[in-house]
């Protein structure tokens, strides 16, 4: 049974994500931390008739919120408004992530950390650099959540193919997403080339890729100034967390179906091979990984050998942008020591 802490639990993502975690049979204790409403939401959730407990903690109680947590999920920070890129969130969210990471290192140094807050491409490097400087970084335990892009890649494919022809469930193995989590760093790659050819032949490949890369803007626009994806993101965050919880709970090799997440490549088996195959020194990248006992144990790289020419071009465009985003995070972290 697993003890989970959500940092930023009262937000648009934090609330539905906490609800989903309260329903998960592998969670024994759910701790909610936010600047506001954490006690109220925890009391609310505590009436749900599942086996886990839920407790709320305010800013003075962050140590108790984190103590002994095995999994910490972070959706704390400001979301986008119309006209903003994820990068525009950097100034505020970088400071939040850095201070929360210091607290995690002190109170839950062995926890797995899932970073939802944006910009993921720059904030995961901040978590890395902060933990590294405190001698607490464990590469297999720090993951940036890019699952929403994967979920969108499935949904937008079935939007084109038609729900009568294929269920979304069947298309889940046809496409996934690698790279980073913003605009052109988001790269859908087809694991079933049949669907790639179908989109190419009907001249919708480019618009499909664009929709996967900028799908978040549809939500920001539709919410008209009140934020970005929250409900679909809560589902995406839980989808990843559930996979991790399953692998922790099974206490065995578990579910070996790899799922992409944004990780520090040089610290993981397969990471350096991936860098070599991509011909890059970029150190953080979202690639399919294997999870065991809730930890990333291997980064997949075989998928690079199967990329088509369009996907190779997308990767070539992604890498320099990703490199800039990563450098920005690392520079912030080093400056604010
Ligand atoms: P929100 O504004 O609704 O909620 C954020 C919550 O964080 C608020 O309750 C706020 O009080 C809390 N918070 C702020 N500073 C904090 C601190 N120092 N400690 C603890 N809590 C703190 O925002 P929303 O919509 O929930 O989004 C949260 C983040 O997730 C944003 O940065 C957003 O860009 C990101 N996001 C990430 C996605 C992904 O795919 N990884 C997708 C969608 C959003």
Reported ipTM: the value is: 0.99
The catalytic residue among 26, 107, 154, 181 is: 181
Which residue of 5, 6, 8 sits with most ligand 1 atoms within 8 Å of its CB, as the best mutation to test the pocket?
A: 8
Atom of ligand 1 nearest to the CA of 236: 40
| Ligand 1 geometric centre to CA of 254 (Å) | 31
181 is catalytic: yes
pLDDT tens by residue, the chain, 337 residues: 899 999 999 999 999 999 999 999 999 999 999 999 999 999 999 999 999 999 999 999 999 999 999 999 999 999 887 888 888 899 999 999 999 999 999 999 999 999 999 999 999 999 999 999 999 999 999 999 999 999 999 999 999 999 888 888 888 889 999 999 999 999 999 999 999 999 999 999 999 999 999 999 999 999 998 999 999 999 999 999 999 999 987 655 555 689 999 999 999 999 999 999 999 999 999 999 999 999 999 999 999 999 999 999 999 999 999 999 999 999 999 888 6
| Residue nearest atom 38 of ligand 1, based on CA coordinates | 116
| Residue nearest atom 35 of ligand 1, based on CA coordinates | 117
Does the beta carbon of 228 sit less than 6 angstroms from any atom of ligand 1? yes
With beta carbons less than 8 A apart as the criterion, state whether 4 and 21 touch. yes
| Ligand 1 geometric centre to CA of 309 (Å) | 37
Closest CA to 187 of 58, 74, 282: 282
Closest CA to 72 of 138, 25, 129: 138
The beta-strand segments (E) located in the chain are 2-7, 27-33, 53-57, 71-74, 112-115, 142-144, 175-179, 186-190, 259-264, 284-292, 295-299
Closest CA to 244 of 121, 1, 48, 71: 71
Q: Are strands 71-74 and 112-115 parallel, antiparallel or unpaired?
A: parallel
How far is C-alpha 234 from the chain's CA centre?
11
CB-count burial class (<10 Å; 0-12, 13-18, 19+) for 132: middle
- CA-CA distance, 66 to 322, in Å (whole number)? 31
Provide the whole-model pTM. Answer: 0.97
Atom of ligand 1 nearest to the CA of 7: 20
């Amino acid at each position: 049974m697993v003890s989970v802490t959500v940092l930023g639990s009262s937000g648009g993502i934090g609330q539905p994500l906490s609800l989903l975690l309260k329903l998960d049979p592998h969670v024994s204790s759910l701790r909610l931390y936010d600047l506001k409403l954490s006690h109220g939401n925890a009391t609310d959730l505590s009436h749900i008739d599942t086996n886990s407990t839920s407790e709320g903690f305010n800013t003075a109680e962050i140590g108790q919120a984190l103590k002994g947590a095995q999994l910490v999920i972070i959706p704390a920070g400001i979301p986008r408004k119309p006209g903003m890129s994820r990068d525009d969130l950097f100034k505020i969210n970088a400071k939040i992530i850095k201070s929360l990471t210091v607290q995690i290192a002190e109170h839950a140094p062995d926890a797995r950390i899932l970073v939802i807050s944006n910009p993921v491409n720059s904030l995961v490097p901040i978590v890395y650099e902060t933990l590294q400087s405190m001698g607490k970084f464990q590469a297999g335990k720090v993951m940036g959540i890019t699952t929403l892009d994967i979920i969108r890649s499935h949904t937008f494919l079935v939007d084109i193919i038609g729900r009568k022809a294929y269920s979304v469930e069947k298309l889940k193995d046809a496409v996934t997403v690698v790279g980073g989590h913003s605009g052109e760093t988001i790269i859908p790659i087809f694991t079933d080339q049949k669907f790639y050819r179908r989109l190419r032949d009907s001249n919708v490949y480019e618009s499909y890729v664009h929709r996967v890369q900028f799908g978040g803007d549809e939500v920001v626009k539709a919410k008209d100034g009140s934020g970005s994806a929250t409900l679909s993101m809560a589902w995406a965050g839980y989808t990843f967390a559930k996979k991790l919880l399953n692998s922790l709970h099974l206490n065995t090799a578990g579910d070996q179906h790899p799922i992409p997440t944004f990780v520090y490549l040089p610290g993981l088996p397969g990471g350096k091979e991936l860098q070599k195959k991509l011909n890059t020194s970029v150190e953080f990248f979202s690639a399919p990984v294997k999870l065991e006992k809730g930890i990333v144990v291997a980064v997949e790289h075989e998928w690079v050998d199967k990329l088509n020419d369009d996907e190779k071009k997308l990767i070539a465009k992604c890498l320099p942008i990703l490199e800039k985003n990563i450098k920005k995070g690392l520079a912030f972290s080093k400056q604010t020591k």
